[in-house]
Structure 1
Amino acid sequence: MTIEVNRSSWQVTLDVWRAMFLREIVSRISADRLGWVWLLIEPVLHIVLFVAIRQLMGRVRFIPGAEFVPWFVVGMMGFFLFRQAITRSMGAINGNKALFAYRQVQPLDAVLVRCFIEGLLKTLVLLLIVGGATVLEYHILPHDLLGVILIWGFIWLLGTSIGIVLSVLNTVMPETEKVVGLIMLPLYFLSGVMVPIQFLPHALHPYLLLNPITHGIESLRHQFFEHYQTIAGIDLMYMGQWTLCCFFLGLLLHLRYRIRLIAK
């Protein structure tokens, strides 16, 4: 006697995501013994490095409305969340080719699961750093917790939507990963992570504001620090437009190149 179990497409999708989530977590643990430690070491090294640089740059020792170290930590973690969602998603399709033999598993599932894992891990790292900084008597506890959660999720969505687009481009054109790697370093500095945008020439502000992650980082800092003043022109709607456009463009690319994405 056979028992037929009728599952909705949504239930099947959730089961696929759950299985891929467990697979990715186990893969991260077994592939690199230092992978989990590096999640915390990397931001700590950045903090130590730029705090040391700050001592040589008296001009940025004081940030209006915030202390330098908490200000830098918040911006750095926001950028890392954005960056990791992009870079990890680019290898998601090639890293899960064998699973596409099952018709329930789609390339987009692999990208979304990886982005979710990166968002989860970066959230845990942020909590650890905020806790450690608080113990060291740095004022880094968020002024508006709900606002921080919303902006943090917004930054993750932006990185995920761009990652969906780049996951297709990197599979079709493997050179994409190298180009993105070259872009990330200057983007790190141009997003106002290390040097406040307020201290840069006003003539550059309109061009810097074309970068959507700048809006996310500045908004995140505004939610953390009660008296922090962002520059004129910070607009979450602009960031949202980028997110929606990239998300739907990514979906269209996944449909257009579906056969090439699942081909071995």
Structure 2
Amino acid sequence: MSSPSHHSTGDNKSGPKARSAWAVTRSVWYAMFIREAIGRTMTDRMGWFWMVLEPFAMVALMVGIRSFIKGDGLIMNAPFIPWMVSGLMGFYLLRDGMMRGMGAIKANQALFTYRQVHTTDPVFSRVFLDGMLRTFVLVIFICLGVLLGLKMYPDNVLKSFFSWISLWLLGLGLGLMLSALATLIEEVEKIIKLISLPLLIISGVIFPLNNLPHWLLEYAMLNPIPHGLELLRLGFFENYHVVKGTSELYLWAFILGFNALGLMLHIHFSYKLKAK
């Protein structure tokens, strides 16, 4: 009579070990990131040009207007051009996460036939890629500013980096939330595109909000974006006087709230989002 151990040797032969859920998710994110990166950097040959030209043109326009009206100077202990560049780059970082994240589901609808791909995956990969590209462009602007003799290097690198990440995460939260809403309700995307320019103006990107009357400033600071931009500028200029009412806690309440709400929308409407 043969021993049980002798027969068990053949039964242990099995297929390849199943990958964990986290390993599958990482593979999906990596594949979608490479797909988005190739599409952004190689398909559109003018993509890099416009990414650098847009903030440069806006800064040149605003510097020209300011010089024509009352000349260059300091804005609350910050040089005007670096103040403008830091605000524009921070706003574009957030705007890219919001706008490109909003269209991520519709652009990748065919990929949802694979059960491993979830509706949040294209949003994460797009926002991460756009954040990396904007960070690279910011470094270019800092290097150009230093070469031109402008005070562009941040005084507090850690604080600037944390504020940059905060704006990045706020854009991710908006992207998650709006990607679900815009896919379910088509009018949402049109509304967001209409308010993107007014949002730049009321967020203190191109003029200091301290110039507003106190009663109007209180309403403007209900918007979380100025809080992130002011904290970013404080990291660049250590003596900068931030707008009254700026709060890191208030900013992070919106970051956590938008991301949580966005994830809940994706979970609750998962089947509807994939079927659109």
When the two structures are superposed, what TM-score results if normalisation uses the length of structure 2? Answer: 0.92
| 119-128 vs 48-57, greater mean Cα deviation | 48-57
The question of 1:200 aligning with 2:209 is answered: no
Contact 2:32 2:125 in 1 (8 A): yes
Contact 1:54 1:61 in 2 (8 A): no
Contact 2:210 2:244 in 1 (8 A): no
The question of 1:177 aligning with 2:189 is answered: yes
- Displacement of 1:226 in angstroms is 1.4
Q: Deviations over 1:207-252 (max 9, x none)?
A: 1110001000001001100110112210011111111111111111
Matches within 5 A, 1:1-264: 3-58=15-70, 61-263=73-275
For residue 198 of structure 1, what is the amino acid of its counterpart? N
For residue 141 of structure 2, what is the amino acid of its counterpart? I
| 97-106 vs 197-206, greater mean Cα deviation | 197-206
Contact 1:72 1:193 in 2 (8 A): yes
| 232-241 vs 199-208, greater mean Cα deviation | 199-208
Q: Deviations over 1:152-205 (max 9, x none)?
A: 000110111011000011111122111111111111111111111112222211
- 5+ residue gaps in structure 1? none
State how far apart, in whole Å, the 2-side matches of 1:131 and 1:89 are: 29
State how far apart, in whole Å, the 2-side matches of 1:38 and 1:174 are: 27
Aligned length: 264
3-state SS, counterpart of residue 16 of structure 1: helix
State how far apart, in whole Å, the 1-side matches of 2:178 and 2:135 are: 23
Contact 1:60 1:195 in 2 (8 A): no
For residue 8 of structure 1, what is the amino acid of its counterpart? S
- 5+ residue gaps in structure 2? 1-12
State how far apart, in whole Å, the 2-side matches of 1:202 and 1:138 are: 32
- Displacement of 1:60 in angstroms is 7.2
* 4+ residue segments displaced more than 6 Å: none
| 2-11 vs 127-136, greater mean Cα deviation | 2-11
State how far apart, in whole Å, the 1-side matches of 2:155 and 2:69 are: 28
State the percentage of identical aligned residues.
Answer: 42
For residue 107 of structure 1, what is the amino acid of its counterpart? T
| 130-139 vs 225-234, greater mean Cα deviation | 225-234
- Displacement of 1:2 in angstroms is 6.7
For residue 138 of structure 1, what is the amino acid of its counterpart? L
Task: Give the number of the structure whose alpha-carbon radius of gyration is greater.
Answer: 2
For residue 91 of structure 1, what is the amino acid of its counterpart? G
When the two structures are superposed, what TM-score results if normalisation uses the length of structure 1? Answer: 0.96
State how far apart, in whole Å, the 1-side matches of 2:267 and 2:76 are: 47
